[in-house]
């Protein structure tokens, strides 16, 4: 199984533009995996590896939100 955060890492590693950053959204598979991890966390049944995967994803999701905000600024020429 591919870890949810690997998708974001691959996107960043492939090189980006402001437009591609703004257009990026996780796949339905990644979203489903994160939903699964969140449900397991709520049920207090996450393994240590799953907890690490969820934390990695959430950190990268935050980074992508900041990158999207910066990309919008760059596109406006600010």
Q: What is the pLDDT of residue 7?
A: 84
Query: Whole-prediction pTM value?
Result: 0.81
CB 11 within 8 A of CB 24: yes
Would you state the structure tokens that stand for residue 39, as one six-digit string? Answer: 């449900």
Q: Which percentage of the chain shows pLDDT scores above 90? A: 71
Burial 44-78 (b: 16+ CB within 10 A, else e): eebeeebeebbebbeebeeebeebeeebeeeeeee
The pLDDT tens digits for 19-65 are 999 999 999 999 999 999 999 999 999 999 999 999 999 999 999 99
């Amino acid at each position: 199984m591919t870890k949810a955060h690997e998708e974001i890492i691959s996107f960043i590693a492939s090189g980006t533009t402001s437009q591609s950053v703004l257009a990026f959204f996780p796949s339905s598979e990644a979203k489903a995996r994160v939903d699964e991890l969140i449900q397991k966390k709520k049920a207090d049944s996450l393994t240590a590896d799953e907890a690490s995967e969820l934390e990695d994803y959430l950190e990268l999701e935050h980074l992508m939100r900041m990158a999207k905000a910066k990309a919008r600024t760059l596109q406006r020429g600010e």
